Amino acid sequence: MASSAPPNAQPQGVVAVGASAGGVEALTRLAAGLPSDLPFAVLVALHVPPGAPSVLGKIIDRSGPLPAESAANGAPLEQRRIYVAIPDHHLLISDHRVMLSEGPTENGYRPAINALFRSVALEFGPRAIGVLMSGVLDDGVAGLGAIQARGGTTLVQRPDDALYPAMPHNAIEAGVVDDQVAAADIGGVLKRLADREIEERPMEPDIKMDLENRIAMGSRFEVSIEGDTLGPPSGYTCPDCNGSLMTLSDTGYRCRVGHAWTADALLEARDDEVEGAVWVALRSLKEKANMSRRLAQKVGSGSLFDRYNMVADEAERAITVLGKRLLESSPDSDKPDG
């Protein structure tokens, strides 16, 4: 049965919720459907830029019966309360308390959903519930796998209910989802989960999961990670620091200072790097063409005039090719973050 304990009582378990693009709408609908006597603590991580204002807690607080607030480092976990990650900090838990960390980014994000999910998996095991909602790419997928591996329960927002279904869809494809639920109906599922009997069973330590959790809890510029403790060299470099990436799994990588990447996020970062390089090349070619035309005008007719014009013609042909490349990729410029 759901607890009738006072709101500040220790929670029976923890619900960790992760979202990205389209996540504010999804989170408000989830909050509106939560039961007022939910015997869990709820922790929420949404991908936001580092300098964004910390207003999500207020938005969620107005949306449903449970009080929501921006997470404060060291706050004790209480049932019937929602703790919301603040920009540029991972939201983690340690010893039944909230922990805010400036540990290395994961998939370019801080807060990262995978970091939150791993943390609750290690701390609460079968009493951890992970919920992955609207967003693009795959942050949170490995974290749901961690919760499932420690005996917890994993839910995703039903893809046809999400503004951006990629994150829930990728989790389903990875086989780490116990149930698919519309955002407005998640509260009812959580209430049923609160009434279940939980079988406590001994769990073997997960050395790699524990290491990744300790990295997330570390400092922003942690440099004490030994590469061979992460895995073999991947042959790739980290988009954040240009350091060598080690292979954690078939689809996961970390560098020596702790930045973590999934394969999909790494591919996306490479696309951004290529587009940036093309823009640099385009600017340089335009300057080269303009300079060559001006030099040709100054020297007048002759072999030097022909040479400068030939250089300008070649640069302008290359500009046309690169312009087509940027035009082909222009739909991606409207893509949401996360």
Residue 72, pLDDT score: 97
Q: Tell me the C-alpha distance between 293 and 298, whole Å.
A: 9
Which of these is catalytic: 20, 63, 70, 101?
A: 20
Top pLDDT among 308 and 87 is at 87
pLDDT digits (tens, 9 = 90+) for 217-245: 987 766 566 656 778 889 999 998 888 89
Residue 13 has pLDDT above 80, yes or no: yes
| pLDDT confidence bin for 302, thresholds 50/70/90 | confident
Domain range annotation of the chain: 13-194, 223-258, 270-334
pLDDT digits (tens, 9 = 90+) for 41-81: 999 999 999 888 889 999 999 999 999 999 999 999 999 99
- Please identify, in words, the CATH class of the domain defined by 13-194: alpha beta
- Whether 119 is a known active-site residue: answer no
Which of these is catalytic: 101, 139, 169, 234?
A: 139
Residue 68, pLDDT score: 97
Top pLDDT among 168 and 202 is at 168
Assign 3-class secondary structure to the chain: CCCCCCCCCCCCEEEEEEECCCHHHHHHHHHHCCCCCCCEEEEEEECCCCCCCCCHHHHHHCCCCCCEEECCCCCECCCCEEEECCCCCEEEEECCEEEEECCCCECCECCCHHHHHHHHHHHHHHHEEEEECCCCCCCCHHHHHHHHHCCCEEEEECHHHCCCCHHHHHHHHCCCCCEEECHHHHHHHHHHHHCCCCCCCCCCCCHHHHHHHHHHCCCCCCCCCCHHHHCCEEEEECCCCCCEEEEEECCEEEECCCCEEEHHHHHHHHHHHHHHHHHHHHHHHHHHHHHHHHHHHHHCCCHHHHHHHHHHHHHHHHHHHHHHHHHHHHHHHHCCCC
State the Cα angle at 212 between 208 and 215, rounded to 5°: 140
Q: Tell me the C-alpha distance between 17 and 27, whole Å.
A: 9
Which of these is catalytic: 47, 89, 90, 169?
A: 47
Q: Tell me the C-alpha distance between 96 and 40, whole Å.
A: 12
- Among 23-27, 96-100, 188-192, 223-227, the range scoring the smallest mean pLDDT is 223-227
- Among 13-22, 213-222, 232-241, 246-255, the range scoring the smallest mean pLDDT is 213-222
- Whether 20 is a known active-site residue: answer yes
- Whether 47 is a known active-site residue: answer yes
With contact defined as beta carbons under 8 Å apart, do 12 and 77 qualify? no
